[in-house]
Amino acid sequence: MRPHGHPLLALAEAAGGHLVQGDGSLHVEHLVLDSRKPLPAEGALFFAIRSARHDGHQHLRDLYTRGVRAFVVQDPAPLLGTDAQVVVVQDSVDALQRMAAWHRAHFHTPVVGITGSNGKTVVKEWLYQILRETTHMVRSPGSWNSQVGVPLSVWNMDATHALGVFEAGISRPGEMERLRTIILPTLGIFTNIGPAHAENFSDDHAKAREKLLLFTSCEALVYCRDHAAVHAAVQEAHLAQRVKLCDWSREGSAWLHVTREDHDRDGAQLTVLHDHRESVFRVPFADAASVENALHGIALLLHLGHDPEWIAGRLLHLGPVAMRLEMVDGVHGSTLINDAYSNDTASLAIALDHLNAIAGERPRVVVLSDILESGEEAAQLYGRVGRLLKRARVDRLIGIGPQLAAHASSLPPGSFHSSAEAMLAEVDAESLREAAVLVKGARTFGLERVVAQWQEKVHGTVLEIDLEAVRHNLDHYRAQVRPGVQLMAMVKAFGYGGGAVELARLFAHHRVHYLGVAYADEGVALRQAGIRLPVMVMNPEPVPWSTLQRFNLEPVVYNERSLREAMAHTRDHAEAPPVHLKIDTGMHRLGFTPDEVPHLVNTLRDAHHLRAASIFSHLAASEAPEHDAFTREQIVQFSAAAEALCAVLPERPLLHLANSAAVKRFPEAQFNMVRLGIGLHGIGADATETALLRPAATLRSPIAQLRTVQPGESVSYGRRHRVATPQRIATLPIGYADGLPRKLGNGHGRMWVQGQAAPFVGSICMDMCMIDVTGINCREGDDAVLFDPAHPVTEVAHDLGTIAYEVLTAISPRVKRVHVHH
């Protein structure tokens, strides 16, 4: 068994599969699901998983070429080579789960299983922070709690671990029993029940009953009996007859009774009664969710026999759990990935995967601190770190701490420094030019100072783009299209305000087929950033064909002039990029009208030197039911024009008409490619579809100053706001030069501070604005939010009498873009 691996033959038998090629002697150390990620040098087993969106079988030959020699497939694999070893199963995900369950059964280590609607990852990470000095633990990396995340997490378990802590998340009935057999928890924590995945359960009680199945064979269960649905499920299951219930409550007697709770801005003090003994615990977080998470951890630690005073001492050192990676623009054209608050091999592997996804052909630099309190022998630990870095093709390592320097021979080339301050003094930021830089370190090393010094200097207002939300929305549309239909992602207008280059990298990583931009300059910027996907340039600005050819940008041909220019250039340049033929079916903006199509057909009949990549048109009102008859007429006109053109073209091109709204509303308009725009940012055709998407953008600005303005005084230019009663006014560094419309001033519109509405006061200034925070508990430095997932951009658009497109694209480039990956 690991760390030397399991024989493939044994794994095949555990999964009920059939070894159809090879002798099964290969020892498997790594389970691989994603063909896009860097691969281990040896011992990898690839699972070809088929879903509505992807089919791993398409990548078998490429993976074999890259060195993978063991495969789990649902279909007989193509001939890959005599040294390949292939296992055929009915279902690859089921095989993955069976293999992980078989692996788990080799160990008798105590294992904590955590489930619930919220708080799973925080509870897990806080247990790690508390126990890491005394206990060698294995835990779920990040939030790996799904049907594939759990088996991958449990596979990391080996005989050296004294404790396992794994999350389990479900979205529909029937899933938890599969996860239970993989985790086999001996101890359990049920955090809470919330609205997540409510669409697949009749009510919270049904959801709680399904989640509780994780704990049917546990020795002890921690939960809050004040959560009615959870407590009722525990009672109905009669768990107390076979499981020790370590319940806690604020409202009444329990195994752990919270008798007093005092809060201040810096945290909460909890007085609890357990086993006839009163204890006091200080938690360095004041919000209700953090206090609940801490109480779950306290209850588990007490059950494990830890002394209350020891627990109290460890709680004081709890740090925030980094639930995401942040990407910001760095100096000299670099991109910084900020993961400066934790460091262990599991989270390092996740961060390196993200570096791989965004780096492209750019140099890869990792700033890494020593890994503290891992419980692992140093040579073995840093040997594993070196293998992770080399697998990720890291070009340069900047190490901070004595342990990395001591094990430099196991690591990629680079430099080693005693501290973050020393490194900043010794490393020239110019050497990072155009690089993708991961900053990863334990909190005690203070690597956030590295990010602060190396990021491009901008003011504090931030537009945050949740890349995981964009990916979720992309997958939503991918599931709506027919098999074989390609996807074009629109990244025009600075990626709808969200940063075209970072979004393009995301789309490339997730195998979108085409990108669309408005102007050639936008396409040039993508090419200069290393984006290789095909790019269609949609708008009519005259651009020299030499520029289009140099950067391999594909222009739109929409009238007689652009057709003549394309034909003249392509006649003399065989390597010229293809064109996209635009038909005007009723938008009346650009394109050949139906009356002009016969002439276009005749012109193209013998123009075999002109390559057409696609034929397309624009729907004028696909989101509006009152115009559905017009939309259907557009579809008919486009189909007729496209077929007439296809009849004379030497090769049949792509046909695309559907935008985000039409994908679901008009499936007949999908043809063989669809163009996705605003839907990728979380705005659907209607409220029903929008509820299935995730808003991707958050615009926030920090409070720069607070003051109390007295009656009779005025606020902002023109003295349009007169104070009637004392008002507490907050000034924010965001104004109309940042894209905040002046129409929002003087009580029209609001920001959100601590979850409460704070109306705009006075006129919006060029660089600042003022809001009324009277009665809101806030201080300088706190964020005010214009829009976020809880207060979507569509609400701001409604206040302005416009559309979300305008609000997003109006945000100035001087506003800092931060791209986060959960």
Specify whether 492 is catalytic: yes
> Tokens representing 222?
């921690």
The mean pLDDT of 84-110, rounded to a whole number, is: 96
Q: How far is CA 444 from the centre of its chain?
A: 26
What proportions of the chain, in percent to the nearest 5, are helix, strand and coil? 35, 25, 40
Cα 111 from Cα 124, distance rounded (Å): 12
- Contact predicate 165/140, CB 8 Å: yes
Cα 501 from Cα 535, distance rounded (Å): 12
Instruction: With CA atoms as reference, report the closest residue to 721 among 761, 753, 690.
Output: 761
Burial of 697 (0-12, 13-18, 19+ CB in 10 A): buried
Cα 359 from Cα 347, distance rounded (Å): 18
Specify whether 717 is catalytic: yes
pLDDT value, residue 200: 84
Cα 141 from Cα 349, distance rounded (Å): 9
pLDDT value, residue 36: 85
> Which position has the higher pLDDT, 343 or 751?
751
The mean pLDDT of 773-799, rounded to a whole number, is: 94
Question: At which residue do the structure tokens 């950033």 appear?
Answer: 529
- Contact predicate 214/237, CB 8 Å: no
397-436 per-position pLDDT tens digit: 999 999 999 999 999 999 999 999 999 999 999 999 999 9
- Contact predicate 295/418, CB 8 Å: no
- Contact predicate 543/520, CB 8 Å: yes
Question: At which residue do the structure tokens 């091109």 appear?
Answer: 653
- Contact predicate 681/674, CB 8 Å: no
Q: Mean pLDDT over all residues of the chain?
A: 93
634-681 per-position pLDDT tens digit: 999 999 999 999 999 999 999 999 999 999 999 999 999 999 999 999
pLDDT at 2 over 50: no
pLDDT-derived band at 263 (thresholds 50, 70, 90) equals confident
Identify each DSSP E strand in 518-619 by its residue range. Answer: 535-537, 554-557, 579-582, 612-616
Enclosing H/E stretch for 566: helix 560-572
pLDDT value, residue 5: 80
DSSP 371-401: PPS--S-HHHHHHHHHHHHHHTT-SEEEEES
What residues contact residue 486 under an 8 Å CB cut-off, 6+ apart?
513, 514, 654, 672, 673, 674
Instruction: With CA atoms as reference, report the closest residue to 508 among 611, 364, 356.
Output: 356
Cα 435 from Cα 331, distance rounded (Å): 10
The mean pLDDT of 479-495, rounded to a whole number, is: 94
- The CB density around residue 358, as the number of other CB atoms within 10 Å, is 23
In angstroms and rounded to an integer, the radius of gyration of the C-alpha atoms of the chain is 29
345-368 per-position pLDDT tens digit: 888 988 998 898 888 889 999 999
pLDDT-derived band at 40 (thresholds 50, 70, 90) equals confident
191-245 per-position pLDDT tens digit: 999 876 677 888 999 999 999 999 999 999 999 999 999 999 999 999 999 999 9
pLDDT-derived band at 256 (thresholds 50, 70, 90) equals very high
The mean pLDDT of 266-295, rounded to a whole number, is: 93
Cα 37 from Cα 48, distance rounded (Å): 14
Question: At which residue do the structure tokens 């991961």 appear?
Answer: 438
Cα 176 from Cα 172, distance rounded (Å): 9
Catalytic residue, from 120, 124, 211, 492: name it. 492
- DSSP character for 25? -
Instruction: With CA atoms as reference, report the closest residue to 455 among 358, 360, 365, 337.
Output: 337
User: Which range among 52-61, 294-303, 359-368 shows the weakest confidence by mean pLDDT?
Assistant: 52-61
- The CB density around residue 556, as the number of other CB atoms within 10 Å, is 21
pLDDT at 374 over 90: no
pLDDT-derived band at 77 (thresholds 50, 70, 90) equals low
Q: How wide is the angle at C-alpha 656 spanned by C-alphas 653 and 660, nearest 5°?
A: 155
The sign of the torsion formed by the CA atoms of 527, 531, 534, 536 equals negative
pLDDT value, residue 1: 40
Cα 169 from Cα 175, distance rounded (Å): 9
pLDDT at 42 over 80: yes
103-147 per-position pLDDT tens digit: 999 999 999 999 999 899 999 999 999 998 899 999 998 889 999
Cα 665 from Cα 623, distance rounded (Å): 8
pLDDT value, residue 323: 66
562-606 per-position pLDDT tens digit: 999 999 999 989 888 999 999 999 999 999 999 999 999 999 998
Cα 374 from Cα 137, distance rounded (Å): 8
